Amino acid sequence: MAPRKLAAGNWKMNGDLASLDQVDALVTAAAGAGCDVLICPPALLVYAMATRVGTGELLVGGQDCHAKASGAHTGDIAAAQLRDVGATHVILGHSERRADHAETDAIVAAKAEAAHAAGLVAIICLGETEAERDAGSTLDVIAAQLAGSVPEGATAANTVIAYEPVWAIGTGRTPTVDQIAEVHALLRDHLAARLDDGADVALLYGGSVKPGNAAEIFAIPHVDGALVGGASLKAGDFAPIIAALDAA
């Protein structure tokens, strides 16, 4: 079974209720597409977006969850709470969370376990910094993050891996085709060796994915979709990326 293709949009700390107008066009873009389409808005918009799209083609997710199911964790959100308001996925371990909130691989793995327990698909993010890339340690960094961030119990049904080189996120810079291919081949090999269905885990690329480069990226072996930032905020930008993945 081939991995299910996924076009995922991460709105980060952007958007408001008026932004949900973009969702109507994305529902149309997602309808009948040969890939899954997901939007992860800020937490305050998850319920409103999920209610607006209903149970159709467009999926809705969160951008983070706590490792605990409940308790005295002011300002945090439990995975089950995301699920309760209509989320199907949650992004975990994004480099901005790792940098801004000192999230370690162990913390990410614990959050992924909580997501799995709540019935959410965990999108686990990995990526090297520019210094690590320049030092030639990219593959070692990615292998270590993968080993430490993916918990026991991970399967192709409950886990997606997103490779996002930190130096490419929001900068307009994109790794070469060969650089992306090298990392995705490593991810596939390590997952296949560790998980019974590791060959079927969807692998996303993220980092300045745009309509203009999407087709080239989706032609790379073991790239099963994208985790898109800024280009997912407007349907006019995200719809061509969805179409490119559908055609890949």
Active site residue 184: no
- Rounded Cα gap, residues 170 and 29, in angstroms: 24
Long-range contacts at 65-74 (CB < 8 A, ≥ 24 apart): 65/90, 65/92, 65/111, 65/114, 65/115, 65/118, 65/120, 66/111, 66/114, 67/107, 67/110, 67/111, 67/113, 67/114, 68/114, 69/114, 69/117, 69/118
Among the listed residues 66, 164, 184, 222, the single catalytic one is 164
Residue 79 Cα distances to 1, 16, 47, 94, 190, angstroms:
28, 22, 14, 16, 27
| DSSP bridge pairs for 204 | 162, 225
Active site residue 164: yes
Of 40, 15, 38, which Cα lies nearest the Cα of 245? 38
Of 226, 215, 214, which Cα lies nearest the Cα of 36? 226
Among the listed residues 66, 94, 116, 184, the single catalytic one is 94
Active site residues: 94, 164
